[in-house]
Chains A and B, each alone.
Chain A
Amino acid sequence: MPVRPALFFGYDIIMNFISAFVAFIVGYQAYRAHTITRKKSFLALELGFIFTGIGLLADSILSYAAIASRMPHFLGVGYLAYFISTAIGYSLILGSYVIDRVMTEEAIPAAAPIVRYGALPESILLVLIGVVMIQSMINLLVDRSPNRLLISIAFTSIFLSHLCFMIQALAFVSLLVIGQILRFIGFIMFAVSVIRVVRAG
């Protein structure tokens, strides 16, 4: 039985909100690490997760505003903000690896979600997060630690979520639900990793 995205609408706002919160926590941890070490890779990671969090937060707030005010055009604005901020965020996260190597995040019609995710912007985000995912997998192969495994699973889940968003924009709408869940799982993995890091202190 195909999943009906309309039934999922609302839950995605909550998941995006929680994911944004996790992104800000990761950003905060990176900020602390940057303060103590002055490593620019941590600064890029911090800004990357802050931009990713802002994108997710803007999307969830504007999606809620669209439902509350019954003004569906907010969805488009929310998606634009999400796309721009997430693209900057992923670029910065990717940049953190480059820096590290070079220098030693009711009344809405059922069709609304289709409008929100575009194949082209999602493919751009897919490429950006894809490179980050590959880097995290290489890191895992070099040293198979539990934290690296969690980060690798997180980036892989987010990569797969953008793949789902891209395909659903073209054909299978039900992939939107799977994509949202995958992205949520990705950010939960980041949260688990950060909890482990904080406990290690």
Chain B
Amino acid sequence: MKPYRSRLKIVLDILTAISEEGGKVSKLLLYANLSYDRLMKYLKELSEKGLVEEEMGEYRLTERGYRFLEELRRAEKLAEAFGFRF
């Protein structure tokens, strides 16, 4: 059985993938471990919130996206320290 991954964790994985692996959809599919449809749905939502932007078929984090990713990583570490689910 696959371990449950929360929506927050999926968003964190996608943003981390874009930040560290580059924004090609093929790489994101592997790194984020999502179906194409689900990944595109998340990317559309992240674009609408101004966290990522698309250019020539590649995604990259906006300034706001980098700040959001930093805060999300801290929140994940705090959750991990106190034993909360993330």
Asked if B71 and A36 make an inter-chain contact with CB atoms under 8 angstroms apart, the answer reads yes
Encoded as 1 (CB less than 8 Å from any B CB) or 0, chain A from 1 to 39 comes to 000000000000000000000000000011011011101
* Contact residues of A: prevailing secondary structure: helix
B interface residues, how many (CB within 8 angstroms): 19
Choose the segment among B22-30, B33-41, B53-61, B72-80 that binds chain A (4+ C-beta atoms closer than 8 Å): B72-80
B81 and A197 contact, CB distance less than 8 A: yes
> Is B83 part of the binding interface, using a Cβ–Cβ cutoff of 8 Å?
yes
* A100/B81 contact (C-beta < 8 A), A36-B71, A37-B75 known: no
- Across the interface, which residues of B come within 8 angstroms of A196, CB to CB? 77, 81
Decide yes or no: A139 and B83 within 8 Å by CB, A36-B68, A104-B6 being known contacts: yes
* Chain A residues bordering chain B, tally (CB within 8 A): 33
Complexed CA–CA distance, A150 and B80 (Å): 12
Query: Nearest-CB distance from B83 to chain A (Å)?
Result: 3
A33:B83 contact, CB within 8 angstroms: no
Instruction: Encode contact with B along A127-160: 1 for CB under 8 Å, 0 otherwise.
Output: 0000000011011101101011011000000000
Minimal Cβ-Cβ distance residue in B for A93: B82
Contact residue among B72, B80, B84 (Cβ-Cβ distance under 8 Å from A36): B72
Q: Per-residue CB proximity of A73-95 to B under 8 Å, as 1/0?
A: 00000000000000000000000
Instruction: State whether B74 touches A32 (Cβ < 8 A).
Output: yes
The reply to whether B78 and A197 form a contact with Cβ atoms under 8 Å apart is yes
Q: Is A185 an interface residue (CB 8 A)?
A: no
The B-contacting residues of A in range 56-74, CB under 8 angstroms, are: none
Please determine whether B73 and A33 come into contact, CB atoms closer than 8 angstroms: no
B2 at the binding interface (Cβ < 8 Å): no
Contact A151 B82 (CB under 8 A): yes
The answer on a CB contact under 8 Å between B71 and A45 is no
| 16 more A-B residue pairs beyond the given contacts A41-B84, A42-B79, A201-B74, with a C-beta to C-beta distance below 8 A | A30-B78, A32-B71, A32-B74, A35-B71, A36-B72, A36-B75, A37-B79, A37-B86, A41-B79, A96-B84, A104-B85, A143-B80, A143-B83, A147-B81, A151-B83, A200-B74
